[in-house]
Structure 1
Amino acid sequence: MLSKILLLTATALTSVSALGNAVVSNQCPYDIYLWSVDQQTNPLSGTLIPARTLYTEPFRTPCPGCGISLKISTTSSLVGGHMTQFEYAIDTGLIYYDISFVDCAVGQSADNCPGHEKGLRIDSAEPSCLPLNCPSGTYCVNDAYYVDDPNVKLGIPAPVKTCARDMLGMDLVFRVCGDEAPL
């Protein structure tokens, strides 16, 4: 019995250590704040990410199919209508990711969305992970959520990307002010 428990524990640790990271690259000339939220965690305060620095956290799966939202604000408190969200979920060996302006867009404008004035992107060094790119000042509905259900409300597919199956050990880079020079 103990050997089965040790084998299960070793397998679980191997699975966890095989996960990559969510990296937020603040390429902006100003500080931002991040709240890493899931169905079980909702921090009271944000993490400061100074201008031109990186923040890294390991991918996590708080429950099967549950998603993580990295909420980005330019202030130390989350204000409705003024946050950009980078989102990801891991399910059945795949990582799904997107950019969401649902809480900050007004119609086709993302002017209230932190970082959009200098572009937002998600990319990875892993070539199977397709990039999402929303250049500054654009209505990038194919690369970011402007409404909660674009299939129903806009007649287009959801702007969600994924990497090849079992590519969970790589890093995804969420770039705020993505039109600026990389770090």
Structure 2
Amino acid sequence: MVQTSFITLLLPALAFAAPWGGHWAPASSVAATTEVAASSSEVPAVTVTSAPASSAAYSTAVAEPTSTSSPSTGGSGGKVTLKNNCDYDVTYEQLCPCGSSDGSGTISAGSTWSDSISDCAGGNTALKVYSASTSKPMQFEYGLQSGNIWYDMSFIDCISGSDDFSQCAGSAWSIGAVGTCQTYACSGGSECCIQGYCDPTASAAAVQPAFGCGAFQGYSVSEVGISIELCSA
């Protein structure tokens, strides 16, 4: 009778402990019971999705453009050189952002101009080049920051938003640095809007056509020089 009464009392207790709407199963161990209890008290983590990065006029990434360019033959270490391969003279203006003396002058047909490159955290030097028949410059930009020389070329002024490059001094253009550092080169048309800037954000290029050469590739500043050519093709 006592045993029967005990069973009679136990069965309702087990029925009350069973979860509603499901089968009740005993925990396999104390550890498992503790783990389930702990996990049930945790607050679910919030997943944050990053917004897409906005495009910038310049990128510090050193990825090369999707178009192919030949490795540069480089310039003199620590210097920028411009070789005028055209059969006519060009004039230039050099605008320096860090207190260096601005300059101007003429680069005769077949001759080469050069200058030193100074470290400047304030921005790039702009080298504006004109032919006698044009009033809007073809522009080469370069600067030295943190052991890397950055460079690019800009057609923004001389094409005035069109695809006509006839007002840009030179008929083919290139700019590059030492060794395997990127060379940008083109002779007009849509390719120049990939190899250089035809608008402030180089919207036609897969990546910004501006490159940093130096410490990134294991070169010292004294080994790196920028080489620019007009009428290079």
TM-score scaled by length of structure 2? 0.58
Q: Secondary structure at the match of 1:103?
A: helix
Equivalent residue letter for 2:214: A
RMSD after superposition: 2.5
Q: Secondary structure at the match of 1:149?
A: coil
Name which one, 1 or 2, has greater alpha-carbon Rg.
2
Q: How many angstroms does 1:108 deviate by?
A: 2.5
Partner of 2:112: 54
Equivalent residue letter for 1:159: P
Tell me if 1:123 matches 2:180.
Answer: no
Equivalent residue letter for 1:72: V
**Separation in 2, partners of 1:92, 1:130:** 18
Structure that is richer in helix per residue: 2
Tell me if 1:132 matches 2:184.
Answer: yes
Equivalent residue letter for 2:175: I
- Indicate conservation of the 8 Å contact 1:25/1:174, yes or no: yes
Q: How many angstroms does 1:67 deviate by?
A: 0.7
Q: How do 1:86-97 and structure 2 match up within 5 A?
A: 86-97=140-151
Partner of 1:168: 221
Q: How do 1:66-145 and structure 2 match up within 5 A?
A: 66-75=123-132, 79=135, 82-105=136-159, 106-115=161-170, 117=171, 119-124=172-177, 126-137=178-189, 139-145=191-197
Q: How many angstroms does 1:133 deviate by?
A: 0.5
Equivalent residue letter for 2:140: F
- Indicate conservation of the 8 Å contact 1:21/1:56, yes or no: yes
Identity across aligned pairs (percent)?
23
Deviates more, 1:85-94 or 1:34-43: 34-43
**Separation in 2, partners of 1:21, 1:155:** 28
Q: How many angstroms does 1:110 deviate by?
A: 2.0
Q: Deviations over 1:46-98 (max 9, x none)?
A: 3111000000101123x41421011101139x83xx21111112111111100
Equivalent residue letter for 1:144: G
**Separation in 1, partners of 2:181, 2:205:** 25
**Separation in 2, partners of 1:134, 1:159:** 12
Partner of 2:82: 24
Aligned residues: 152
Q: How many angstroms does 1:111 deviate by?
A: 2.0
Structure that is richer in strand per residue: 1
- Indicate conservation of the 8 Å contact 1:133/1:143, yes or no: yes
Q: Secondary structure at the match of 1:141?
A: helix
TM-score scaled by length of structure 1? 0.73
- Indicate conservation of the 8 Å contact 1:110/1:139, yes or no: no
| 1:167–1:102 Cα change, 3 Å | farther
Q: Deviations over 1:150-179 (max 9, x none)?
A: 2xx447322112213143222211101111
Query: Where does the alignment leave 5 or more consecutive residues of structure 2 unmatched?
Result: 1-76
Q: How many angstroms does 1:123 deviate by?
A: 2.7
Q: How many angstroms does 1:142 deviate by?
A: 1.6
- Indicate conservation of the 8 Å contact 1:35/1:70, yes or no: yes
Q: Secondary structure at the match of 1:174?
A: strand
**Separation in 1, partners of 2:151, 2:226:** 9
